[in-house]
Amino acid sequence: MNESANTVSSTERALGESTIELRQMHKWYGEFHVLRDINLDVKSGERIVVCGPSGSGKSTMIRCINRLEEHQQGDIIVNGTELTNDLKNIEAVRREVGMVFQHFNLFPHLTVLENCTLAPIWVRKQPKAEAEAIAMKYLERVKIPEQAGKYPGQLSGGQQQRVAIARSLCMSPKVMLFDEPTSALDPEMIKEVLDVMIELAQEGMTMICVTHEMGFAKTVADRVIFMDEGQIIEENVPEEFFNNPQSERTQLFLSQILAH
Amino acid sequence: MSATASTAQPSLFAKLWYDKNNRSIVVQILATIVLIWFFGSMVLNAVINLEAQGRGFSFAFLEQPASYDINQHLIPYSSRSSHLQAMWVGIINTLLVAVAGIILSTILGFTLGVLRLSKNWLVNKLAYVYIEYVRNVPVLLHILLIHGIIVHSLPRTKEAWNLLSDTAFISNRGLFMPSPEFLPMFKFVLAAFIGAIVFAWLFRRFARSLQARTGTQLPVFWVSVLAIIGLPVIAFIATGHPINWEYPTLKGFNFQGGAVIRPEFLALWLALSLYTAAFIAENVRAGILAIDHGQTEASMALGLPRNRTLNLVVIPQALRVIVPPLSSQYLNLAKNSSLAIAIGYMDVTATIGGISLNQTGRAMECMILVMAIYLIISLTISGIMNYYNKRIALVER
Amino acid sequence: MEEMIPKKQYAPGEHPEMPPPFKTKGAGLWLQQNLFSSPTNIVLSILAIYFLYKMLPGLLEWSLLDAAFTGSDRNECRAKAGGACWAFISERLPLFTYGFYPAEERWRVDLSFLFLVISAVALLWEKCPLRKPLMVFAVFFPFIAAFLLLGGNGVKLMVVLACTAVVLLLLYRGFSSAFMMVLALVVAVLAKYAFFGGIGVPFTDIHATQLVDLNQFTQLNLKTVSTDLFGGFMLTLIIGVTGIAFSLPLGVLLALGRQSNLPIIKYSCVVFIEFIRGVPLITLLFVASTMLSFFLPPGTTFNLLVRVLIMVTLFASAYMAEVVRGGLQALPKGQTEAADALGLKYGPAMRLIVLPQALKISIPSIVNTFIGLYKDSVLVIVIGLLDPLGIGRASLSSTEWNGLTNEVYLFVALFFFVSCYGMSRYSLYLENKLHTGHKR
């Protein structure tokens, strides 16, 4: 998929300093050890794709980055702010990190425009008119400005997900997290969402993306991370990862996912 | 704290307020202080006020003679009995009307709910009118209305309606029925009845295992009904009618002998049951309608006949929807039984929370007792219903 | 039929429409399908018709055909007709409506009722003209109505209205959780002093107003009417509307408290809710009438009606809390997660995202709770307040109307039936309208 799109390889771009750092991070659900010794360093402008079988902890890991889940051991540092119990820090991190969910999680009682302006008005304390202008700009970028007055329930899945992306962009985040953004979509709608994401990547947005879209990974990723049973098993540039996987589990996973 | 921005030492306020764990502790301590303050001043005021009246907080009055009469008591009671005994009589009367009401309202409610879904236009609309009328009028009015009809519109004792040729009478003093006296031989009838139930249970198990092994289906329902009714009847005849009936007879102004259901109980029981039945009917209807039509269609498509579709597919699913609201209807019924006080049925509110309270002036102690009793009854009912709910949920999964 | 249609092949889309070969209309068919479709149905229909035949004529005769609508006492009724004696109701209608409210001041009750209707229409009818300003009016309505009904000094009303406006403005503008805590503490302290000593009950005896020379506002004063004179349908409406207006916000707070992850907050809400739901309302009313004075500082008394209103509000708020909790639980978890991810704090997230949706889901149940509360208001007769039922029972003991219990009860029942049936139809209409779930 998307082979026609420009390949924006990592090698020729200069990456900035670390934006997200995970150091020896562990997480438990009760007795269950979901994340084990996660180490990850994401540079500014870097695009990372996380893949792995279901239940491997991919979603949990990126949900830790904006503290939707709490980690119990190790450090997470986002934009120089460490995530602890300090609510000020959590708020600061969430202001700078946008997130797109598998099920969109748009607010059904608000119009598309209101969905987009809600956080800028209440969190960034922008004036309404300014927030609306910015929202329209991003809605145009995701190619649905004409839907601004509609309610999410009136849109298709692909359109809803694009609204969700615009909603996150309205906060002008430094990092975007994507939690399986295309998994709940019908096949013909996946492309319209991926196109928006590719465009975003080309503009230099720092992205961490949990997805099974291997085409997308090949096109835009600087690094592909493979996770299984709560651990990062393998980490490599896309060409190496797909053509020359190191561990057996990665090989097995790739053979299953690319079999048909 | 923070990796880069921790150069300045955070203030105490920031430490307490912006740390998630500390904040929750601070908030809870504040809440505790407010709660203690509020209830503390209530208790303190109560102590001061009671002392000003020259009496402490004590339940000793429960031992004193109640010196009032209660016309319906299932345990020994006279006006010389203690307030405690009066309270027990009240509790038993409350439980009696609550349990009787729950049974009757369940039967009526399920019947009405099914009638409400009937394809028969007339029956459907009649059930609708009944349910809407009953639901939208306060239960206290139903109680008073039914009590009024019994007391004012039924004949006096002398002209009591004679039901079943001199065995039972109904008048504005209540329903008079013969009371049974069990002869020693009756235990065989009882044994036959228990035996029949055991037999029916064993037969059901046998039929199940037979069906599992060979696929043969036995008429379990009809065999069980036949056994449970037939065996005791045979035993009853064989042992020579081991029950003596004591019939009520009119002597002077009232009936003597036999058993009586008093108009207060009758009115309360009927009113509570009829009222709650309307709500249960709506729950039943909603529960059955909540089952996706696809379920019935799938079952029919598999070739299951109509009654099996109901038994095996619709009812198990509908029950899961019906039971939770059903339990809150039972709770309401039990609590509404406290309206007995309006027509003089001596339940726990009318005895310990009414006459005893007025006689001794111990409002606080009496109200605490009454509330505690209702809380225990409510918790028991919801406990039983939760248990039942869990069971049917498990059966389903 | 077959001869009329020529047998030929039609091109797609050109086949003429044909009538079905069986009957689809007609009274006979309707009867057959709806009343006599199967043996069971035939039996049921015959039973139903027999039941109606037995009940309806007698009921009609008693209540309408053979009833007396005029007359000055029971005997006159009996002389005129053998059925119901409605003359009693028509004669006592003012009493049933206003209780013992002084006749020359009853315009105030009528005016409050008019305001109530306006507020209700604005709140319930979405296409109401001028809805926005009328809804603002509806928010202030309880205070205006209280002033109209009780009478007294107009300045107090102004103060109360201003305070409400400020609080609402703050709510609308949004405020931090720290501010909310401080506000809650201040309210708790005020409540503590108001109910259990210290300064007087706020807004019934404001010290600040004494600083102002009240005489210049005399034209705003209304004659004070004691709440002992309140009664009849007016009392029912007062209890119902007060309970509705105050139990909903309290219920929302309790529901949020019950969802809280702070154990002390959570369990105090749970204990409160389960306690209130576990005891009958009349025991709470008994507490209000006999026991509450024990918990107040020596010498404090306050109005029985106020005590009853507080108890009814607390009672209803526990049920409301459970209804709202149902709505909160029905909301997908993703909604709060998305709010968190956008960086919204607890207050705005609840106010902007969670509550609007949760309340919308639970509107039908909220209306049902209101109906229950409204019906429960008749229970105040057990502590001696004169609602319609109380008025009726008191009137029955007068010599000229003795013994007309059925008429009184049926009349009051009719009143409740009409208002509650109306409300339940409205809730049904909402239920059918609110099918904008979370479809994916």
Q: Is C60 on the interface with A (CB under 8 A)?
A: no
Q: Are C417 and C365 in contact (CB under 8 A)?
A: no
pLDDT tens per residue, range B19-32:
888 888 888 999 89
Of A81, A82, A86, the CB nearest to B19: A86
Determine the pLDDT at residue C178: 55
How far is A227 from chain C, CA to nearest CA, in Å? 23
Q: Taking Cα atoms as reference points, which of C147, C98, C144, C155 lies closest to residue C119?
A: C144
Residues ≥6 apart with Cβ < 8 Å to C156:
C147, C203, C206, C209
What are the Cα distances from residue A204, in Å, to A16, A64, A175, C257, C407?
A: 11, 23, 10, 44, 82
How far is A58 from chain B, CA to nearest CA, in Å? 25
Q: Is C280 on the interface with B (CB under 8 A)?
A: yes
- What is the assigned CATH class of domain C228-440? mainly alpha
Determine the pLDDT at residue B214: 84
Of B2, B14, B20, the CB nearest to A82: B2
Residues of B with CB under 8 A from a CB of A: 1-5, 14, 18-23
Contact list in C for residue B143 (CB cut-off 8 A) is none
Q: Is C178 on the interface with B (CB under 8 A)?
A: yes
How far is B145 from chain C, CA to nearest CA, in Å? 6
Residue C80 burial (CB count, 10 A): 16
pLDDT tens per residue, range B312-360:
888 888 888 888 889 889 999 999 999 988 888 889 988 888 888 888 8
Cβ distance A82 to B1 less than 8 Å, yes or no, reads: yes
Q: Is C178 on the interface with A (CB under 8 A)?
A: no
Q: Is B18 on the interface with C (CB under 8 A)?
A: no
Cβ distance C48 to B341 less than 8 Å, yes or no, reads: no
Contact list in B for residue C256 (CB cut-off 8 A) is none
Determine the pLDDT at residue C8: 66
Q: Are B115 and B123 in contact (CB under 8 A)?
A: yes
Touching C: A residues 209-248, CB under 8 Å: none
pLDDT tens per residue, range A173-217:
999 999 999 998 988 899 999 999 999 999 989 999 999 888 899
Residue C68 burial (CB count, 10 A): 19
Name the residue of chain B whose CA is nearest to A21's CA: B3
ipTM for the predicted complex? 0.83
For chain B, the chains sharing at least 3 beta-carbon pairs closer than 8 angstroms are: A, C
Q: Is C375 on the interface with B (CB under 8 A)?
A: yes
Cβ distance C340 to A94 less than 8 Å, yes or no, reads: yes
Q: Is A72 on the interface with B (CB under 8 A)?
A: no
Q: Which helix (H) or strand (E) holds B338?
A: none
Cβ distance C410 to B145 less than 8 Å, yes or no, reads: yes
Of A99, A106, A118, the CB nearest to C341: A99
Q: Is A41 on the interface with B (CB under 8 A)?
A: no
Q: Pick out chain B residues at pLDDT < 70.
A: 1-10, 253, 393-397
Touching C: A residues 156-195, CB under 8 Å: 157, 167-168, 171, 184
Cβ distance A88 to B20 less than 8 Å, yes or no, reads: no
Cβ distance C342 to A109 less than 8 Å, yes or no, reads: no
Determine the pLDDT at residue B141: 92
How far is C175 from chain A, CA to nearest CA, in Å? 10
Name the residue of chain C whose CA is nearest to B121's CA: C34
Q: Taking the model in full, what pTM does it have?
A: 0.82
Q: Could you give the CA distance from residue C39 to residue C45 in angstroms, rounded to a whole number?
A: 10
DSSP string, A101-152: -TT----TTS-HHHHHHHHHHHTS---HHHHHHHHHHHHHHTT-GGGTTS-G
Domains located in chain B, CATH noted: 2-48 (no CATH), 83-178+247-392 (1.10.3720.10)
Q: Is C347 on the interface with A (CB under 8 A)?
A: no
Instruction: Please name the residue ranges forming H helices in C7-86.
Output: 27-34, 39-60, 74-80
Name the residue of chain A whose CA is nearest to C360's CA: A109
CB–CB contacts below 8 A, B to C: 168
Cβ distance B31 to C262 less than 8 Å, yes or no, reads: yes
Contact list in C for residue A99 (CB cut-off 8 A) is 338, 341
Q: Is A47 on the interface with C (CB under 8 A)?
A: no
How far is A88 from chain B, CA to nearest CA, in Å? 6
Determine the pLDDT at residue C220: 63
For the cut 80, the answer to whether the pLDDT of residue A59 exceeds it is: yes
Residue type, position B242, single letter? P
Determine the pLDDT at residue C328: 92
Q: Which helix (H) or strand (E) holds A34?
A: strand A32-43
Instruction: Compute and round to an integer the Cα radius of gyration of chain B.
Output: 29
pLDDT tens per residue, range A143-181:
999 999 999 989 999 999 999 999 999 999 999 999 999
Cβ distance C286 to B367 less than 8 Å, yes or no, reads: yes
pLDDT tens track, chain C, 440 positions? 445 555 567 777 777 787 777 766 777 777 877 777 778 888 888 888 898 888 888 888 888 888 888 777 777 777 777 778 888 888 888 888 888 888 888 888 899 999 999 988 888 887 878 888 888 888 888 888 888 888 776 666 666 667 767 776 666 665 555 565 566 667 666 655 555 444 434 444 444 334 344 444 455 677 888 888 888 899 999 999 888 888 988 999 999 999 888 899 999 999 999 999 999 999 999 988 888 888 887 777 778 888 899 899 999 999 999 999 999 988 988 999 999 999 998 888 988 899 989 988 888 888 889 899 999 999 998 888 888 888 888 887 777 777 778 888 888 999 999 999 998 888 888 877 766 444 33
Tokens of C114: 């008019």
* Paired sense of beta strands A97-100 and B243-246, if any: unpaired
Q: Could you give the CA distance from residue B133 to residue B277 in angstroms, rounded to a whole number?
A: 12
Q: Could you give the CA distance from residue A211 to residue A54 in angstroms, rounded to a whole number?
A: 11
Q: Could you give the CA distance from residue C138 to residue C122 in angstroms, rounded to a whole number?
A: 8
Q: How buried is C113 (Cβ within 10 angstroms: 0-12 exposed, 13-18 middle, 19+ buried)?
A: middle
How far is C85 from chain B, CA to nearest CA, in Å? 15
Touching B: C residues 409-438, CB under 8 Å: 409-410, 412-413, 416-417, 420-421, 424
For the cut 80, the answer to whether the pLDDT of residue A94 exceeds it is: yes
Cβ distance B120 to C34 less than 8 Å, yes or no, reads: yes
Contact list in A for residue C342 (CB cut-off 8 A) is 94, 118-119, 123, 167-168, 171
Residue tagged 């502590």 (tokens): C383
How far is A163 from chain B, CA to nearest CA, in Å? 32
